[in-house]
Structure 1
Amino acid sequence: MSECKLNHSHEDVRNKYESQEAFLPEDMKPLFEQFFSNEHTQDLLNEVFHLLKKYDLASDEERNERNNRLYMVLKNV
C-alpha cells in the first residue's frame, strides 16, 4: 500500500468502511462499530482508511494481510 499524505476524518473512514462492508469478514463488523464509537488519533484513522481502501479489489493474500492488521488495530483500541 502506498503512503498518502492526506488526513482522513472519522467520517471519511466510516464512509470507506460502509463502501467495503459487504467484503469484510462478518466478525469484524462489530469491532468497527466499537471503533466508530470512540475518538482516535489521526495516524490511526489514516491507517484504517488505507487498509479499507480498495479492499474489494485486493487479492486473497492481500486481504489476509489487511484483515490481520485490521484485527490488531480494532481489538486494541
Structure 2
Amino acid sequence: MSECKLDHSQEDVRNKYESQEAFLPEDMKLLFEQFFAKEHTQDLLNEVFHLLKKYDLATEEERDERNHRLYFVLKNV
C-alpha cells in the first residue's frame, strides 16, 4: 500500500467501509460499528482507510495481512 498525504475524515472511512463491507469477514462488521461509535486520531483514521482501500482487489495473501492489521486496530480502540 502506498502512503497518502491526505487526511481522511471518519465519514470518508465509513464510506470506504460501506463500499468494501461485502468483501470483509462477517465477524469484523460488529467491530467496525463499535469503531464508528467513537472518535479516533487522524493517524488511525488514515490507517483504517488505507487498509480498506481496494480491499476487494487485493490478493488473498494481502487480504490476510490487512485483516490481521484491521482486527488488531479494531479490537484495541
TM-score by length of 1: 1.00
Task: Name the CA distance, whole Å, in 2 between partners of 1:58 and 1:11.
Answer: 23
Amino acid at match of 1:8: H
Per the TM alignment, residue 60 of structure 1 is displaced from its structure 2 partner at its CA by: 0.1
Amino acid at match of 2:55: Y
Q: Which residue of 2 aligns with 1:9?
A: 9
In structure 1, the gaps of 5 or more residues are: none
In structure 2, the gaps of 5 or more residues are: none
Secondary structure, aligned partner of 2:8: coil
Structure 1 moving runs of 4+ over 6 Å? none
C-alpha distance after superposition, 1:16-61 (max 9, x if no partner): 0000000000000000000000000000000000000000000000
Task: Name the CA distance, whole Å, in 2 between partners of 1:31 and 1:23.
Answer: 15
Q: Which residue of 2 aligns with 1:43?
A: 43
The answer to whether residue 72 in structure 2 is matched with residue 76 in structure 1 is no
CA RMSD of the aligned region, Å? 0.1
Secondary structure, aligned partner of 2:39: coil
How many aligned positions are there?
77
The answer to whether residue 43 in structure 2 is matched with residue 29 in structure 1 is no
Per the TM alignment, residue 3 of structure 1 is displaced from its structure 2 partner at its CA by: 0.3
Per the TM alignment, residue 11 of structure 1 is displaced from its structure 2 partner at its CA by: 0.1
Task: Name the CA distance, whole Å, in 2 between partners of 1:3 and 1:41.
Answer: 17
